[in-house]
């Protein structure tokens, strides 16, 4: 499988981002060709956007894992999922 590139040069000489994403939906890492095509400012912006998206995904995954842990603890103490959905307090949460 060939590696996806994040940018391409158009016939008129301008550079455009391809929107290529990896299997998790994260924009692909820049290749050396991408870095050569894009200016340093565009590279920095792309990397910042990519890092923010990765951080957001990690934060969401962590929050979901904590929610699942709290729900398991709630059910272990006799609470039910339907109570949680109706607004019952999950033990161990504020």
Domain map (residue ranges) of the chain: 7-85
The answer to whether the pTM exceeds 0.75 is: no
pLDDT tens-digit series, residues 3-61:
788 888 899 988 888 888 988 888 999 999 999 999 899 999 999 999 999 999 999 98
pLDDT at 75: 72
* 3-state SS, residue 11: coil
Instruction: Indicate whether 85 pLDDT > 80.
Output: no
H or E stretch at 88? none
* 3-state SS, residue 8: strand
Q: Where on the phi/psi map is residue 37: left (φ > 0), alpha (ψ -120 to 50), or beta?
A: alpha
Contacts of 42 (CB under 8 A, 6+ apart): 15
Instruction: Indicate whether 83 pLDDT > 80.
Output: no
pLDDT at 74: 73
The 8-class DSSP code of residue 28 comes to: P
């Amino acid at each position: 499988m060939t590696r996806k590139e994040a940018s391409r040069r158009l016939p008129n000489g301008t550079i455009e981002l391809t929107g290529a994403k990896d299997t998790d939906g994260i924009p692909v890492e820049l290749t050396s060709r991408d870095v050569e095509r894009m200016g340093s400012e565009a590279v920095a912006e792309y990397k910042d956007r990519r890092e923010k998206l990765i951080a957001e995904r990690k934060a969401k995954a962590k929050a979901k894992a904590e929610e699942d842990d709290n729900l398991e603890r709630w059910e272990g103490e006799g609470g039910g999922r339907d109570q949680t959905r109706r607004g019952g307090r999950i033990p161990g949460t504020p």
